[in-house]
Amino acid sequence: MGGDRPLSTRSTTVPDTNTTFTATVLGAPRIGPNRELKRAVEAYWGGRIDAAELHRVAADLRTAQLTSMHAAGLDSVPVGTFSYYDHVLDTAVLLGALPERVQGIEDELDRYFAAARGTDTVAPLEMTKWFDTNYHYLVPEIAAGTQFSLHPDKPLAELREAQALGIPARPVVVGPITFLKLAKAIDGADLLDRLEDLLPLYEQLLTLFAEARADWVQMDEPSLVTDLSAAELAAIDTVYRRLATSSSRPKILVATYFGRLGEALEPLARTGVDAVAVDLVAGGTADLPVARTLTETLIVAGVVDGHNVWRTDPDAALAALAELSDGGASVAVSSSCSLLHVPYSLEAETDLEPRLASWLAFGAEKVAEIVTLATAVQQGPAAVADRLEIARTALRDRRADPRLRVEPIRTRLTALEAADTRRAPADQRRELQRARLGLPQLPTTTIGSYPQTGRIRLARAALRRGEIDGAEYDARMRAEIAEVVALQEDIGLDVLVHGEPERNDMVQYFAEQLDGFAATSNGWVQSYGTRCVRPPIIYGDVARPAAMTVEWISYAQSLTGKPVKGMLTGPVTILAWSFVRDDQPESDTARQIALAIRDETIDLEAAGTAIIQVDEPALRELLPLRRADQPDYLAWAVAAFRLATSGVADTTQVHTHLCYSEFGEIIGAIAELDADVTSVEAARSHMEVLDDLNAAGFDLGVGPGVYDIHSPRVPAAEEITESLSRALKAVPAQRLWVNPDCGLKTRGTDEVVASLRNMVTAATALRQA
């Protein structure tokens, strides 16, 4: 790939309209303000509506959204960010990169959903985290034999649809570098080598957009904010210089987000693309000094946080915008990333305390903020003086709210000493706990939740509608707990759980009981496909007014002579799955949550609980995208977990659970969590995880999942015996625990019972051997 084309060649066939824009967003939510798309897609899957009806719902949603963004004053509106499931999958379709196993499926939509979710005979694409967000994308699979081909119907149709509405539409596609970096090479090849195959398709696409009279195209390249190799940096030059000089094209905006561009910014701008979007929220002001000197490139300044729900500080934003303009750069105002990651609008939040609501901005409110800021840049702040003043007042009000600084909490945290986050050496604890618990070798247990039955969901709905009162609800939950405890005794498990029937969600359940958190009624955000979550908002100092789980666990313990594990969600996970306050470092908020969890562990212990599990499935997901930022994060994340779990006696056994097995950069941190027992996924990765842990010097208890709970399949006892035997080659019997991969809440009762019986049979057989 040659980087030998001349600098900044502007081809004459670039539309010579001097169209530019001043206010935009990088993308928008798509699931529907009331999750209409979720319902329609699920109805289509269930055969309750046909494809035509699904397309109609989707078109209505797009129309409403495009119209409202335009009416609010955006003068360039992203289109094509709509998706029936996932935009990375859409890109794979666009580039003809669906895996071979779905190619035989005749119907286009069914083929698409087969790639997304699988069918009886076809495995779906893998799903993984979209950078450091809680959105999950489908991982395209690219084999040596994958022949790319362009299928531009969707982006072109959505472009025409928007144009027909009179919208200044800017088609959005995932750029080639990010697409290849996110894809998985089936045969381990370096996918960067496939750029040469993709570029002609992108050139064709640009031509088609130009012919369709798009003034601008947005190419999303969030991968450019990660650490790039020299080859990747060189690829920026090759790719965008070539696209910038292609013979017929709209103006090109390369959109980057989720962090600072750093060393990639200048090379990217020098390729001759017309605009670069920089994330001035996640990236801070790091890119400002270079960006302000790029006078040939429109800087699309992401000053409004697309990944959090707080109202923008207009003065900070205007200062950043002024710094850019003063350097000579042309500037447009934008969201820092797509608004996919925030709810639609505050208007639906009728139950939110008005004071708190005045501090917030969801999707629609962010659009209004962007328009205000853009107007201030274009016409001077006086033109929007009243709107700026409203924002300033809200901000002052937020800062003055006493719930943001609760002195007793802060005093307690400052008074903590190193000893408060340290327990006795692990082998001493092991002996003490062995003596107290008297468990057999290879103890069997589960990760916490049992199937969330229809009965549980009905009770929850009845409580919400006021058909039953709290006492009746509690009684029904107790009945569930009693059933699950009896079931576990019957199966013969060694360490029992209460089954978590009372928890709708492992974060929301705690958020509802902690001070400093607020819940929304309609603040849904797409997590993947049709799955949405409603993250709580952490707005103030976190405190625990009362015990949260003790009654349930004590009740379960009262029903059995076997130990019942207390179940808590860890501070990092609660933080990761909430909207976090932006007025103090995340590490400070994590410490406050940790203190609340610590108090809960102490109460559980006082109530007689001998084993407490603190789940941290999100430990890896908050890992910063840049290696340079990772050690600091891991230090505070580990410290928060240890603060949460070091308040108990050495005789109390602390467990943790992590929802994955590829630890990568965090393997050292897992050992430092210093949990007595760590359960992880392993069934799908064949116990390799144990070698990884050993290599990192991990010598605590470990429960590598012996079967995959993500599938309804019941594993045979022999299979489990075999994986345990393999585990025993890596880990001595004194340290090995026997458990499934993850919680059982999404599974059916029959398969759970059958699988657990086989698991206990396998463990018993091995013990005797």
Binding-site residue positions for L-homocysteine: 447-449, 500, 615
704 binds, among ligand GLN, Zn ion, none (CB under 5 to 8 A by kind): none
| Residues 441 to 460 in contact with ligand GLN, rule: CB under 6 A | 447-449
Residues 157/203, Cβ–Cβ less than 8 Å:
no
Q: Does 624 bind ligand GLN (CB under 6 A)?
A: no
The Cα-based distances of 404 to 194, 292, 400 in angstroms read 51, 35, 8
Nearest residue (CB) to ligand GLN, 445 versus 589: 445
User: Is beta strand 515-518 parallel, antiparallel or unpaired with respect to 330-335?
Assistant: unpaired
Q: Does 288 bind Zn ion (CB under 5 A)?
A: no
Rounded to 10 degrees, the C-alpha dihedral 588/592/593/595 comes to 130
Give the count of residues interacting with Zn ion (CB under 5 A): 2
Closest C-alpha among 674, 634, 676, 672 to residue 653? 676
| Residues 642 to 661 in contact with Zn ion, rule: CB under 5 A | 659
Q: Which residues are annotated as a binding site for Zn(2+)?
A: 657, 659, 681, 742
The β-bridge partners of 301 are 278, 333
| Residues 558 to 577 in contact with ligand GLN, rule: CB under 6 A | 567
The whole-angstrom distance between residue 387's C-alpha and the CA centroid of its chain comes to: 33
448 binds, among Zn ion, ligand GLN, none (CB under 5 to 8 A by kind): ligand GLN
Nearest residue (CB) to ligand GLN, 525 versus 567: 567
The dihedral region occupied by 362, where left means phi > 0, alpha psi between -120 and 50, and beta the remainder, is beta
292 binds, among ligand GLN, Zn ion, none (CB under 5 to 8 A by kind): none
Q: Does 703 bind ligand GLN (CB under 6 A)?
A: no
| Residues 72 to 111 in contact with ligand GLN, rule: CB under 6 A | none
Closest C-alpha among 675, 726, 680 to residue 705? 680
Minimum CB distance to ligand GLN, residue 657 (Å): 5
Minimum CB distance to ligand GLN, residue 448 (Å): 3
Rounded to 10°, the helix 153-164/87-94 angle is: 110
Pick the binder of ligand GLN from 657, 671, 678, 738 (CB under 6 A): 657
| Residue whose tokens read 């998985």 | 184
| Residue whose tokens read 């669906």 | 98
DSSP 166-191: T--EEEEEE-HHHHHHHSEETT---G
259 binds, among ligand GLN, Zn ion, none (CB under 5 to 8 A by kind): none
Apex CA 655: angle with CA 436 and CA 644, to 5°?
Answer: 105
Give the count of residues interacting with ligand GLN (CB under 6 A): 13
Q: Does 617 bind ligand GLN (CB under 6 A)?
A: yes
- Count of positions (residues) in the chain: 769
x/- track of binding to ligand GLN for residues 490-529 (CB under 6 A):
----------x-----x-----------------------
Pick the binder of Zn ion from 173, 493, 496, 742 (CB under 5 A): 742
606 three-state secondary structure: helix
502 binds, among ligand GLN, Zn ion, none (CB under 5 to 8 A by kind): none
Q: Does 278 bind Zn ion (CB under 5 A)?
A: no
The Cα-based distances of 457 to 331, 460, 481, 551 in angstroms read 51, 5, 14, 21
| Residues 659 to 678 in contact with Zn ion, rule: CB under 5 A | 659
Q: Which residues are annotated as a binding site for 5-methyltetrahydropteroyltri-L-glutamate?
A: 35-38, 129, 531-532, 577, 621
Minimum CB distance to ligand GLN, residue 554 (Å): 18
Joined tokens for residue 547: 């015990």
Q: Sign (positive/negative) of CA torsion 604, 606, 609, 610?
A: positive
Nearest residue (CB) to Zn ion, 40 versus 611: 611
Tell me whether residue 321 is exposed, middle or buried, using C-beta atoms within 10 angstroms of its C-beta: 0 to 12, 13 to 18, 19 or more: buried
Q: Does 614 bind ligand GLN (CB under 6 A)?
A: no
Is 498 a known active-site residue?
no
Residues 58/51, Cβ–Cβ less than 8 Å:
no
CB neighbour list of residue 355: distance below 8 Å, 6 or more residues apart: 397, 401
Minimum CB distance to Zn ion, residue 704 (Å): 12
Stretch in the footprint of ligand GLN (CB under 6 A) among 289-297, 431-439, 468-476, 741-749: 741-749
745 binds, among Zn ion, ligand GLN, none (CB under 5 to 8 A by kind): ligand GLN
CB neighbour list of residue 443: distance below 8 Å, 6 or more residues apart: 494, 495, 737, 738
Q: Does 742 bind ligand GLN (CB under 6 A)?
A: yes
Active site (catalytic) residues: 710
| Residues near ligand GLN, by CB under 6 A | 447-449, 500, 506, 567, 615, 617, 657, 659, 742-743, 745
| Residues near Zn ion, by CB under 5 A | 659, 742
